[in-house]
Structure 1
Amino acid sequence: MPASSSASPAPVATDDLLAELRTGLPAEALITDPDITASYANDMASFCEAGSPAVVVLPRTVEQVQHVMRTATALRVPVVPQGARTGLSGAANASDGCIVLSLVKMDKILEISPVDRIAVVEPGVVNAVLSRAVNEHGLYYPPDPSSWETCTIGGNIGTASGGLCCVKYGVTAEYVLGLDVVLADGRLLTTGRRTAKGVAGYDLTRLFVGSEGSLGIVVKAVLALKPAPPQQLVLAAEFASAAAACDAICRIMERGHTPSLLELMDRTTVRAVNSLANMGLPETTEALLLCAFDTADPAADLAAVGELCTAAGATEVVPADDPAESEMLLQARRLALVALEAVKGTTMIDDVCVPRSRLAEVLEGIDRIAVKYDLTIGVCAHAGDGNTHPTVCFDASDPDESRRARESFDEIMALGLELGGTITGEHGVGVLKKEWLSRELGPVGMELQRGIKKTFDPLDLLNPGKLF
């Protein structure tokens, strides 16, 4: 690959940096204890290098963020923005001598407008907290990553995250109307709008969504809301093969159904969830499909989908009787990644997304890769989107198994590209996948990506070494 922006600026004496930061920050906003700063070095990804931050800053105001960036620019110190560090690609990992800028203290919901159907929030607001707050107004914020009880809106914006409901409601990018962003030199940029529509100028808002903190620091977001839908009901369908489950998925989408959720768990994942939480899921199945509707008559929609599942070869179709049973099934799905981590202690979570029509091929290919490398690889998927999360389970203390895990991970990404997919549907590139970004985008795409980065961050201070 050509020379990238991965080289960090030369480190500055920590005393000089701290002295300058203290001129605009309260003492409680600065953490210098190395035992504590070390805990901010990583997100949740495996195989991603991380450095030792010089200081962790926890601002509470926009002005404090601006002071940090002005200081960083003056002293040429790299800045790594962080939210809750639930990311899975190493995008929030520290670099040596950097300022870790943790935005978790900027956690205010500034406005909820039922008329305009928007919420205005700071980046540290937790996804689930926002969801519950808008529900009190009869509104709904759809993006709901599996980590929604802990992940922040700023982190969701940084990685353009998705969630279980994407098949009907879409991903984070479709709900970000406007942003306030502190640029690398400390200037404050406002993008987008509060209105239902608007096309004035280039869409800079979308440019920041998914940029993984490499272009600016999001300090406020205007988010679109929807009216709260009826309570959803869930159907669980068991299949004797992943191919049959994928056939059912294709039939459901081809017939024009719009489920609020369409999720897949393979046998390895089902057994891991049962082992972790004693959920009572059927361990004899090769693939468990969860389908939900939040329509006016969800029972009728589930009945129609149940017939399609049976026609595709489902061995059993069980619609939930009530919302409580439905929520139990959804909780099982949300536990999938945590449960798979418990299998061997460490996981590499892939994020390959393929066209729905090729979902069966990617699942079959992952099975072959698991056999080839003699590894346990569980798969859960946002099946309605073709977004799979193959999860490689391995013992990090075993060098050979770790090597095989990394090689299998790369082979899964290659498979996704071969099938017309992408290396990441919602987790981002970060450190983990940056070697693969050029393979997907090509030389012209990479040249333009680097040019955009240089325009916004000419000194390469913002999250250096990420993406490319």
Structure 2
Amino acid sequence: MSSPVTGGPGIESLGTMLTAGALLSDPASTEAYRHDWTRLPDAGTPLAVVRAGSAADVQATIRWAAEHRVPVVPRGAGTSLAGGATAVDGCLVLSTERMTGIEIDPTTRTAVVEPGAFNAAVKDAAAPHGLWYPPDPGSFRISSIGGNVATDAGGICCVKYGVTSDYVLGLDVVLADGRLVTLGGRTVKDVAGLPLLKLFVGSEGTLGVITRVVLRLLPSPSPAATLVAYFDDLRDAAWAVVAMGARVRPAMLELMDAASIGAVEDFQPMGLDREAGALLVAQSDAPGAARTDEITVMAGCCEEAGARSVFATDDPAEGDMFLEARRAAGPAIDARGSVLAEDICVPVDRLPTAMERIGAIAREHQVEIPVFAHAGDGNLHPAIVHVPGDQEGRRRAEAAFAAILQVALDCGGTITGEHGVGRTKRSALPAQLGPDVMELGQRVRNALDPLGILNPGVLW
């Protein structure tokens, strides 16, 4: 165990309650746990880090924190794009990265998963049984199930298959007083008592710390057919998305604007058309002839909207190539500088308006804002790029960030579709929810965490 922090409230006593090696308290070791993916400049310095190996470690940590009135910041893989796992001064960062167990039950089509297991690992464990875990965030290879549950993550497949909450059947959660409660189980139907299970999904570590998840699995889908369409104008691509949504239900419908296409080609050349104003990538995994029918309908929608070219393939390898190009958009844009990541979601018919206004915001504030999107469900990811260390550039980026949140509200949408409110969007939350709902949420939070030790500064 590392040496205790000088002046800490008996941190060495916590170490005696945990499994060997769980407590890190020297600054050299805790530095890596200050920031999540957002790299907020005001991240605090933790008192210590607990790398829990079991639910008992989590309970001991929470009980110690409650006794000493020390804030606790739960953390999975640290991939939060809203500052939800950013440390605050004097906190305990409670990491579940070592809790990675996965058990697949093919009979009930369920997976019992510890919170530190990666999303990709669950998919890999299910596949040999002919099963599939659908939620598919862009970070699926490096994000944890605990974090996915905490933010109710969505991703590329959610236009047809839904988001994380649609697959959570049960949870074990450690409450703010250290009690471990079990919610739900392995049954699809369960209406016993209040629906507390759903309350914890998406609560961003403010109501309890997840230690076990029961996930619903599906039979593996049929191989998908892929459609790719290039457009001269981004707005035309958006109208194609609206038309598709009225006629079919794609398994995937993703969009990249010209700036994100260029970023991918700069980062990892994949043969995308740099001259295009937008790219749509859609898939159908419908069985048999229905797959061809859906692709035909989607191609017609693109052509009617003015696509400059439309290409379809049944070859999974070709389809995966375009899917990987879309997945590369996030890392490619991140490589261009410091990024303020958005994930607004609007009704699909408002996509053209939202995209047009985001372009105007980029021009007004003189910032680069590549946009990629889970277009099929209206979930936009404008990424505001600025030069690290340029304070004026940071100020303009933050102004653009706030303006884009307002676009979501003006369009009847939400300030966050899948990343969570975290710390970066909490100032905009009252404008979406209003005072009565804000007060109701605060009452729930106070009831479950009266000392206010769980993830302070997240949500409100």
TM range (shorter): over 0.9
Residue 111 of structure 2 aligns with an amino acid whose one-letter code is: A
- Say if 2:168 is the partner of 1:168: no
Question: How far apart, CA to CA, are the structure 1 residues paired with 2:301 and 2:415?
Answer: 30
- Alignment-derived partner of residue 31 in structure 2: 38
Change (3 A) 1:315 1:134: same
Secondary structure of the residue that 1:119 maps to in structure 2?
Answer: strand
Q: Which has the higher contact order (CA 8 A, sep 6+)?
A: 1
Question: How far apart, CA to CA, are the structure 1 residues paired with 2:41 and 2:421?
Answer: 11
Secondary structure of the residue that 2:266 maps to in structure 1?
Answer: helix
Secondary structure of the residue that 1:207 maps to in structure 2?
Answer: helix
5+ residue gaps, structure 1: 1-11
Residue 78 of structure 2 aligns with an amino acid whose one-letter code is: R
Question: How far apart, CA to CA, are the structure 1 residues paired with 2:347 and 2:9?
Answer: 52
- Alignment-derived partner of residue 8 in structure 1: none
Deviation sequence 1:9-30 (CA, Å, 0-9, x none) = xxx9754432221221134111
- Alignment-derived partner of residue 15 in structure 2: 22
Deviation sequence 1:111-141 (CA, Å, 0-9, x none) = 2122211111100010001001101111110
- Alignment-derived partner of residue 305 in structure 2: 312
Secondary structure of the residue that 1:28 maps to in structure 2?
Answer: coil
Secondary structure of the residue that 1:36 maps to in structure 2?
Answer: helix
5+ residue gaps, structure 2: none
Deviation sequence 1:371-415 (CA, Å, 0-9, x none) = 111111100000011000001111022111111000001000011
- Alignment-derived partner of residue 50 in structure 1: 43
- Say if 2:250 is the partner of 1:264: no
Residue 93 of structure 1 aligns with an amino acid whose one-letter code is: T
Question: Does structure 2 conserve the Cα–Cα contact (< 8 Å) formed by 1:48 and 1:89?
Answer: no
Residue 283 of structure 1 aligns with an amino acid whose one-letter code is: R
Question: How far apart, CA to CA, are the structure 2 residues paired with 1:20 and 1:301?
Answer: 62
Indicate which of 92, 97, 118 corresponds to 2:85.
92
- Alignment-derived partner of residue 138 in structure 1: 130
Deviation sequence 1:317-369 (CA, Å, 0-9, x none) = 011351011111111111111111222x1111111100000000000000100
Percent identity of paired positions between Structure 1 and Structure 2:
46
Deviation, 1:233, is 2.2
Residue 289 of structure 1 aligns with an amino acid whose one-letter code is: L
Question: How far apart, CA to CA, are the structure 1 residues paired with 2:304 and 2:10?
Answer: 66
- Alignment-derived partner of residue 244 in structure 2: 252
- Say if 2:223 is the partner of 1:231: yes
Q: How many residues align?
A: 454
Indicate which of 181, 187, 191 corresponds to 2:183.
191
- Say if 2:295 is the partner of 1:293: no
| TM-score normalized by the length of structure 1 | 0.95
Question: How far apart, CA to CA, are the structure 2 residues paired with 1:131 and 1:30?
Answer: 31
Question: How far apart, CA to CA, are the structure 1 residues paired with 2:351 and 2:6?
Answer: 52
Question: Does structure 2 conserve the Cα–Cα contact (< 8 Å) formed by 1:179 and 1:222?
Answer: yes
Deviation, 1:301, is 2.3
Residue 288 of structure 1 aligns with an amino acid whose one-letter code is: L
Question: How far apart, CA to CA, are the structure 1 residues paired with 2:355 and 2:8?
Answer: 53
Show the 5 A alignment for 1:405-444. Answer: 405-444=397-436
Show the 5 A alignment for 1:95-106. Answer: 95-106=88-99
Residue 278 of structure 1 aligns with an amino acid whose one-letter code is: P
Change (3 A) 1:333 1:208: same
- Alignment-derived partner of residue 395 in structure 1: 387
- Alignment-derived partner of residue 448 in structure 1: 440
Indicate which of 340, 363, 384 corresponds to 1:371.
363
Question: Does structure 1 conserve the Cα–Cα contact (< 8 Å) formed by 2:50 and 2:93?
Answer: yes
Question: Does structure 1 conserve the Cα–Cα contact (< 8 Å) formed by 2:15 and 2:22?
Answer: no
Residue 356 of structure 2 aligns with an amino acid whose one-letter code is: E
- Alignment-derived partner of residue 347 in structure 2: 355
Question: Does structure 2 conserve the Cα–Cα contact (< 8 Å) formed by 1:48 and 1:432?
Answer: no
Residue 307 of structure 2 aligns with an amino acid whose one-letter code is: A
Question: Does structure 2 conserve the Cα–Cα contact (< 8 Å) formed by 1:30 and 1:55?
Answer: yes
Residue 99 of structure 2 aligns with an amino acid whose one-letter code is: M
Residue 24 of structure 2 aligns with an amino acid whose one-letter code is: I
Question: How far apart, CA to CA, are the structure 2 residues paired with 1:456 and 1:20?
Answer: 26
Question: Does structure 2 conserve the Cα–Cα contact (< 8 Å) formed by 1:48 and 1:90?
Answer: no
Secondary structure of the residue that 2:420 maps to in structure 1?
Answer: coil
Residue 396 of structure 1 aligns with an amino acid whose one-letter code is: P
Secondary structure of the residue that 1:314 maps to in structure 2?
Answer: coil
Question: Does structure 2 conserve the Cα–Cα contact (< 8 Å) formed by 1:350 and 1:391?
Answer: yes
Secondary structure of the residue that 1:318 maps to in structure 2?
Answer: strand
Deviation, 1:48, is 5.7
Question: Does structure 1 conserve the Cα–Cα contact (< 8 Å) formed by 2:35 and 2:86?
Answer: yes
Residue 226 of structure 2 aligns with an amino acid whose one-letter code is: V
Question: How far apart, CA to CA, are the structure 2 residues paired with 1:456 and 1:342?
Answer: 40
Secondary structure of the residue that 1:221 maps to in structure 2?
Answer: strand
Question: Does structure 1 conserve the Cα–Cα contact (< 8 Å) formed by 2:8 and 2:47?
Answer: no
Secondary structure of the residue that 1:376 maps to in structure 2?
Answer: coil
Question: How far apart, CA to CA, are the structure 2 residues paired with 1:40 and 1:379?
Answer: 29
Question: Does structure 1 conserve the Cα–Cα contact (< 8 Å) formed by 2:224 and 2:285?
Answer: yes
Deviation sequence 1:44-74 (CA, Å, 0-9, x none) = 1154631000111111111111111111111
Question: Does structure 1 conserve the Cα–Cα contact (< 8 Å) formed by 2:423 and 2:457?
Answer: yes
- Say if 2:73 is the partner of 1:80: yes
Deviation, 1:294, is 1.1
Question: How far apart, CA to CA, are the structure 1 residues paired with 2:123 and 2:236?
Answer: 35
Question: How far apart, CA to CA, are the structure 1 residues paired with 2:428 and 2:162?
Answer: 25
- RMSD across aligned positions (CA): 1.3
| TM-score normalized by the length of structure 2 | 0.97
Greater CA drift, 85-94 or 193-202: 193-202
Deviation, 1:77, is 0.9
Residue 282 of structure 2 aligns with an amino acid whose one-letter code is: C
Question: How far apart, CA to CA, are the structure 2 residues paired with 1:46 and 1:181?
Answer: 28
